[in-house]
Amino acid sequence: MWLLRESNATQNGGTMKKAKKHSVLLIDDSDVNTTMLSNILSPDYKILVAKCGHEGIELAKTKTPDIIILDVVMPDISGYDVIVMLKKAVSTRNIPVIFITSLANLEDETKGLSLGGSDYITKPFCKEIVKLRVQNQSRILNYIDTIERLSRIDQLTGLPNRRSVHERSLSEWKLAIREGTTLSVLIIDIDHFKKCNDTYGHLMGDVVLQKTAKAISHALNRPSDFAARWGGEEFIVLLPKTESEGAAIIAESIRKSVEDVEIPFADGRSTRVTISIGVNTHSPTKKCSIDDLLNYADDALYIAKKRGRNNVAVYKDNVPE
């Protein structure tokens, strides 16, 4: 449904995510060294300390620090053995390791870097060099974090993308199995979206997608609720620990929120759009799949569209209502 009339356009801006304070694990049997390194780094990083290689490995697995500073010569096992074990474990293999050691010859440095070390500092160490080397690894981690976040975000709407949906749905599915709770899903489709693109152009279609995404997000109240762009003109919402009746109420709230939004044109006019929503609720078990949850919601969406669009259809007992 499309309604056209005069209006004024508005524009919303975004905010940048602040980089987190990284944690650094010091693995060194010398109290003097760990104290000095702690004093150098503690103003900018969270510091963890292990006094031997085995303790360092266990601490790395349980605390998953962002960066590890590792001595080579220790009483139980060498730092080279430690990094080999860290690189074998899934939980620790991607943690950057900076060797800090009195072994200053080229062969030792080559060995450390070839085993997966990210950097190599020789003792006696310089305060500024330590700070800069750790800062470099911290900066790389921030870059990686930014790239990872962007790879999970739909650049047009700012919502999580399909990749994020797969990751989040699997996580929520496993949680529901463990806790014996329900999981509801809404699949949302913008009505007559092709007509919008054909009539007003793809730039206007992009504005419709952006405004619809914002309205869907604003209609959700709980931190655990998850909205994403599913693809094209479709969106998806995951509602953990939500029964069918509650999911239907939320779906209707979203439908009404989108219908009430004015979508501006560059020339001052505006339009409104409507959406159709399919709802399905599952009590996940190991014998059923996420695909069932999504497929039944998609079946319900088909019914909502068949009814004339701009409505909510709920899938219950294998029969869309």
Domains along the chain with CATH numbers: 23-151 (3.40.50.2300), 154-320 (3.30.70.270)
Mean pLDDT of 159-182: 94
* Predicted confidence (pLDDT) at residue 229 exceeds the cutoff of 90: yes
User: Is 187 in a helix, a strand, or coil?
Assistant: strand
Mean pLDDT of 7-11: 34
The residue count of the chain comes to 321
Mean pLDDT of 228-247: 96
Cα gap 163→186, rounded to integer Å: 17
**Residue 233 falls in the annotated catalytic set:** yes
Cα gap 7→238, rounded to integer Å: 34
Please report the DSSP string for 122-140 in residue order.
ESSPPHHHHHHHHHHHHHH
Q: Pick from 51, 9, 46, 47: which is nearest to 30 by CA?
A: 51
Between 311 and 317, residue with greater pLDDT: 311
Selected catalytic residue, list 233, 234, 252, 321 = 233
Task: State both tokens at 77.
Answer: 């096992």
Mean pLDDT of 64-72: 96
* Predicted confidence (pLDDT) at residue 319 exceeds the cutoff of 50: no
pLDDT in tens, 100-146: 998 888 999 999 999 999 999 998 889 999 999 999 999 999 999 98
Residue 177: which residues within 8 A CB-CB, separation 6 or more? Answer: 284, 285, 286
